Amino acid sequence: MCGVFATIGTKENAGETVLEGLKKLEYRGYDSWGIATRVATSSPTTMKGTGKISEVRTSFPNGTTSIGHTRWATHGGVTKKNAHPHTQGCVTLVHNGIADNFEQLKKALKNEYSFVSDTDSEVLAALIDHSLKKNKYKNVVSAIRTATKQIEGRFALVMMIEGVDGIWAIRKGSPLIIGKGKHTNYIASDIPAFLQHTRTVNYLDDGELAKLTSTSVEIYSLINGKKVAKRNIKVEWNEEQATKDGWPHFMLKEIIEQKETILRTLEHSSTSIQKFVHTMNKRKGAYMIGSGTAHKAAMVGEYLFAKVADRKINVVQSEEMSYFERFIKSGTAIVAISQSGETADALEVLEYGVKHKAKILSITNTPSSSIARMSHHHLALNTGIEKAIASTKAMTAQMALLLLCAYTDGPGISYGRTLLRETGANINDMLNPRYSKHIEKIAGKIHKHENLFIIGRNSLYPIALEAAIKIQEVSYIHAQGFAAGELKHGPIALIEKGTVCIVLGSDKETISNAIELQSRGATILGIAPENNDVFTHWIRVPDCSEAQPIATVIPIQLLAYYLAIKRGLDPDMPRNLAKSVTVK
């Protein structure tokens, strides 16, 4: 979940380059940071600190090579000593992921090394140094291979070795991408880190080791030690998409961008969507998996397939799928929904699927992501980089693509396309400054509440769950979503005078549930196409028939954003969270 970035070149400003690049990766983890810099093969100087890297204004000693890290702690508290890079012997490394067996490794190494941090990462530095020592620092590839075989878990490591040229990196489950420049090369956990320097990339695959110098990139298989040839790929993203472009926060910028991004899903050809849907063979069954917001998008997909295509899809949280894995057989489709395409839990399910000859399908925002690359068919969200931790434009694009898939499986894709075009136009009209102001005003009235409840039924039930996630993650208000009909079975006991309840929809049944809440003293905020007497506050959404979940989630995103602002919080960087969850 952390951000890793390293560069090697001929100029002596490598430390500054890494600092700037890490600032662009801060969305991946931001509890602490560290950068090590060196000239040629000398021993590095390491600087570390706690807090956000965006606030770091330091200068670095001259260096042609530098490796850096923004941490999202898994092992050991958020302290300076636990911040990466970690050095043991001649090895200085940064680590993304978890070494599951680090305690056992630490025990075996503790007589030879003294450890200063509580992290699993420092143990890996010692393990690699130990392996290098054994072959007298002669054969680095072989030493790293030997060490890697002993590490259990999913991880990416980037390191430099005193006395040895280059930056060395291994990928086993966590993303690493190489950027190739002129007399300078880069390696990072995500492209924005080096986008201002180069757009030519090599994707490191699992089980690969890379060696970067200022003029060369060599890749080896960790399995047999042989060299691997890689294709240079040009990335389409531009720098502009990765900046706030005048907006106060990425979250707000990305909410407003939905005016266009939802419609970009229409750029997929009908043939490509048909192929995708036909792979979801009816007889062999289909599982749709996702985590957090992507899981709620998958749930919307489940309702859409049921309504429009008369088909029941099994939707399971990626984290829980291992308990159902035995139902995956040859030909069963697993559809992974993920913004980053790097979610560790989803990757594990897909690896199981590959072993059992399942059909792997995916919808992600990154066509070159690990999930996309292991899929038989992949549909890209085409929203551009999503930087705010809270997913907004990726989720609406996920729902839009699932809607096109459901129509393809049902009455025909052209109906889906027409509906999506109309929905896009309605959302474009809805998202105007007056609309945002109205929602900001409502946020101003309710931001002091510590509990919020949200109800919805049918395909708005997953949106009630998503509303709770959005509000929790950016405003830290305790929010809970329920199926409207579920209220009487328990949650209604929580309602007292003045409790704020958000009601999604103005259909008869939902309004009855709203009246039940009001009768117990609740203040009702309705988000619906029509106003109703039961609503104390009302946010209008256009009537978009089957695409209603797409339109309804947008005012909720705005509400969550303004709740965070009114509570004095930074909605782009909620505490304890990171953008792509690459650890289990």
Contact present, 455 and 462 (Cβ < 8 Å): no
Phi, psi of 367 (to 5 degrees): -60, -20
User: Site for ligand GLU (CB under 6 A): which residue of 119, 184, 362, 408?
Assistant: 119
Helices 393-409, 413-430: inter-axial angle, 10-degree rounding: 150
Q: Which stretch binds ligand GLU (CB under 6 A): 93-101, 307-315, 333-341, 455-463?
A: 93-101
Closer residue to ligand GLU in complex, CB, 124/313: 124
- Annotated catalytic residue, options 253, 359, 470, 579: 579
Q: Which stretch binds ligand GLU (CB under 6 A): 95-103, 143-151, 251-259, 270-278?
A: 95-103
User: Counting contacts by CB under 6 A, is residue 202 touching ligand GLU?
Assistant: no
Q: Could you tell me the smallest distance in angstroms from the CB atom of residue 2 to ligand GLU? A: 3
* Interface of this chain with ligand GLU, residues 555 to 584, rule: CB under 6 A: 583
- Residues 441 and 426: their CA atoms lie apart, in Å, by 22
Neighbour count for residue 126 (Cβ, 10 Å)? 24
Q: Could you tell me the smallest distance in angstroms from the CB atom of residue 82 to ligand GLU? A: 6
Identity of residue 526: G
* Interface of this chain with ligand GLU, residues 9 to 48, rule: CB under 6 A: 29
**DSSP code of residue 85:** P
User: Counting contacts by CB under 6 A, is residue 120 touching ligand GLU?
Assistant: yes
Q: Could you tell me the smallest distance in angstroms from the CB atom of residue 102 to ligand GLU? A: 8
3-state secondary structure string, 387-429? CCCCCCHHHHHHHHHHHHHHHHHCCCHHHHHHHHHHHHHHHHH
Q: Could you tell me the smallest distance in angstroms from the CB atom of residue 578 to ligand GLU? A: 8
Closer residue to ligand GLU in complex, CB, 120/208: 120
Give 213-220 contacts, CB < 8 A, sequence gap 24+: 213/8, 213/165, 213/166, 213/185, 214/8, 214/9, 214/10, 214/64, 214/183, 214/184, 214/185, 215/183, 216/185, 217/178, 217/180, 217/185, 220/141
Closer residue to ligand GLU in complex, CB, 73/420: 73
Q: Could you tell me the smallest distance in angstroms from the CB atom of residue 25 to ligand GLU? A: 11
CB neighbour class for 569 (10 Å; exposed up to 12, middle 13-18, buried from 19): middle
Residue 2 annotated to the active site: yes
CA 543-544-548 angle, 5° bins: 100
Total residues in contact with ligand GLU, by rule CB under 6 A: 18
User: Counting contacts by CB under 6 A, is residue 121 touching ligand GLU?
Assistant: yes
User: Counting contacts by CB under 6 A, is residue 52 touching ligand GLU?
Assistant: no
Closer residue to ligand GLU in complex, CB, 107/227: 107
* Interface of this chain with ligand GLU, residues 57 to 86, rule: CB under 6 A: 71-76, 82
Closer residue to ligand GLU in complex, CB, 11/584: 584
User: Site for ligand GLU (CB under 6 A): which residue of 13, 66, 88, 96?
Assistant: 96
- Residues 463 and 453: their CA atoms lie apart, in Å, by 12
Identity of residue 534: V
- Annotated catalytic residue, options 2, 90, 501, 544: 2
Tokens, residue 506: 């103005």
Q: Using CB atoms, what's the residue nearest to ligand GLU?
A: 2
Identity of residue 228: V
Nearest to 287 by CA among 369, 352, 364, 382: 352
Residue 579 annotated to the active site: yes
Residue numbers annotated as active site:
2, 579
In the complex, which residues of this chain contact ligand GLU (CB under 6 A)? 1-2, 29, 71-76, 82, 95-98, 119-121, 583
